Amino acid sequence: MPEEAIVILLLGATKSGKTNFARRAAGYSYSGKCESMSHIKLPTLLGYLPVCFGRWRRAAAPYYHRADFPKGTTECTEYSVKAHGKEFRLIDTPGLDENPRLNRGILQKIVVKLDEIRPQEVGGVIYFHTISTRLTGPARSNIDIFEKVCGEPFLRNALFVTTMWDVVSAPGRGKFLGMAEELERKQLKNLKASGTSFYRFSNSEEKAKEVLRLYIAILHKSKARLQLGEEVARWGTSPSDVQKTEAGKLIERQLKRGSSACIII
């Protein structure tokens, strides 16, 4: 029997780099050139024949993801990647927002996706964070949601990836290195204590694949299950089921806090 693919859920705020990472791992290029053909499949009489369209790419766009960068992720989207002798299914998700009301809808979409992939389970979660973003209220709230999606035992299967290291220039690098240190040692020390690994991503296919290699090692360490996945299997996917999940309950609390703050103002 073929080995099951490793499913990895990509979470994080909007513009933190989830889609970019998935597309790097899958070998997409932003120059319009096709760096890897494995993900491009055109139906033919001979089955699925991988082809690189070159200048006819645009005309054939309905058959594959276009190389131009997408405008924003509104639905959970899967990327299939082969690396280190394993198959990975990366599930890109719509970005978590400053507005808990929108996060309610995003959580719903993630839950439906988790139900759709069953009986396969999520093996790992990667949380993305732009290194220049300070951990203020909304950024912190989104990390709290990520922790509830995982559940404490599964945090050992999680990876916290900071992005944009390729554009951090030499003069400013010290400041960002300091911010990364502070994240790992102070602000997110609870995550670290729970076993979450940290990684600084410098935006290349090679580095994206390095992250996947890290995952193979992480998965050998822990057999924990994703908390949200367990909750979906137990209860279902209706909006009231989602509100019962730990992540759903947190979003409702964040909503209440938000609306009471408005009353005070």
Ligand X SMILES: Nc1nc2c(ncn2[C@@H]2O[C@H](COP(=O)(O)OP(=O)(O)O)[C@@H](O)[C@H]2O)c(=O)[nH]1
Binding site for ligand X (CB under 6 A): 12, 14-20, 69, 73, 95, 128, 163-164, 166-167, 201, 203
Stretch that binds Mg ion, among 19-27, 117-125, 138-146, 238-246 (CB under 5 A): 19-27
Residue 262 C-beta: closest distance to Mg ion, Å = 29
Nearer to ligand X, 18 or 113 (CB): 18
Backbone angles phi, psi at 51, to 5 degrees: -140, 150
Of 203 and 243, CB closest to ligand X: 203
Q: What is the DSSP string of 4-48?
A: PPEEEEEEEBTTSSHHHHHHHHTT--SSS--S--TT-EEEETTEE
- State in angstroms the smallest separation of the CB of 129 from ligand X: 10
Question: Which of the stretches 5-13, 68-76, 203-211, 247-255 binds Mg ion when contact is defined by CB under 5 A?
Answer: 68-76
Both tokens of residue 213? 């290699």
Rounded CA-CA distance 211/86 in Å is 13
Least distance to Mg ion from the beta carbon of 176, Å?
A: 22
User: Minimum distance from CB of 164 to Mg ion (Å)?
Assistant: 15
Please work out, in degrees rounded to the nearest 5, the angle formed at the alpha carbon of residue 122 by the alpha carbons of 116 and 127.
115
Residue 95: name the closest of 107, 85, 83, 86 by CA. 107
Closest CB to Mg ion among residues 19, 254: 19
DSSP state at residue 57: T
The one segment of 45-53, 65-73, 131-139, 248-256 that binds Mg ion by CB under 5 A: 65-73
The verdict on 19 binding Mg ion (CB under 5 A) reads yes
Helix or strand run (H / E) with residue 227? helix 227-235
Contact call for residue 73 and Mg ion (CB under 5 A): yes
3-state class (DSSP) for residue 74: coil
Query: What number of chain residues touch Mg ion (CB under 5 A)?
Result: 3
CB of 89 to ligand X, least distance (A): 17
Which option in ligand X, Mg ion, none does residue 162 bind, with CB closer than 5 to 8 A by kind? none
**Residue in the block written with tokens 């932003």:** 30
